[in-house]
């Protein structure tokens, strides 16, 4: 049996036009808005927690949104100058009513590595996990904080 394709109402190069390209970008932005406050996905479909990173002279503060993860399913570690966040999400809903039986399961894991650019001192990482938000405060070693120099930017 041969497969037949229907003729397209668009020319073959229509999807390369600026109109379709901007429409595609706008659809992507709209779909991303639905993931606000939830865990997004990487290009290969893995779960990916949203991160906010800020820095002061002596600390780095990282906030990770990890909804639906229990503290016991979360692993935070530092190896050298790399912070590693790992976790696994498991959710199961089972509901029995007179006329139906419902079972839903959601599974997924994530692994996110964040290069720090320095190795934190021993006991230099403070982690607090509450309501699906992980807050990390990472102290910089004294030599890193002391060797940081501000570069003045001049106008031309």
Instruction: Map out the domains of the chain as residue ranges.
Output: 14-147
Q: Render 70-109 in DSSP notation, one character per residue.
A: -GGGEEEEEETTEEEEEEEEEEEEEEE-SS-EEEEEEEEE
Residue with tokens 């089972």: 94
The closest of 92, 152, 144 to 121, measured between CA atoms, is: 144
Predicted local distance difference test score (pLDDT) of residue 143: 85
Q: 14-147: what fold? A: Immunoglobulin-like (2.60.40)
Q: Which residue has the higher pLDDT, 30 or 6?
A: 30
pLDDT digits (tens, 9 = 90+) for 35-73: 443 445 544 445 678 899 998 888 999 999 988 788 988
What token pair was written down for 147?
A: 């060797």
With 0.85 as the threshold, say if the pTM is over it: no
Count CA within 13 A, CB hemisphere, residue 63.
Answer: 8
């Amino acid at each position: 049996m041969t497969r037949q394709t229907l003729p397209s109402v668009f020319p073959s190069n229509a999807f390369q036009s600026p109109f379709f390209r901007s429409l595609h970008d706008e659809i992507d932005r709209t779909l991303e808005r639905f993931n606000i406050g939830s865990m997004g996905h990487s290009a290969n479909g893995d779960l990916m927690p949203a991160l906010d990173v800020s820095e002061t002279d002596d600390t780095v503060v990282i906030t990770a949104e990890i909804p639906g993860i229990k503290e016991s399913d979360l692993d935070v570690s530092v190896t050298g100058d790399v912070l590693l966040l790992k976790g696994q999400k498991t959710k199961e809903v089972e509901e029995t009513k007179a006329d139906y039986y419902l079972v839903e399961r959601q599974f997924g894991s994530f692994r996110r590595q964040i290069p720090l650019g320095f190795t934190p001192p021993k006991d230099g990482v403070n982690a607090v996990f509450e309501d699906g938000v992980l807050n990390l405060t990472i102290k910089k070693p004294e030599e890193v904080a002391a060797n940081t120099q501000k570069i003045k930017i001049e106008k031309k």
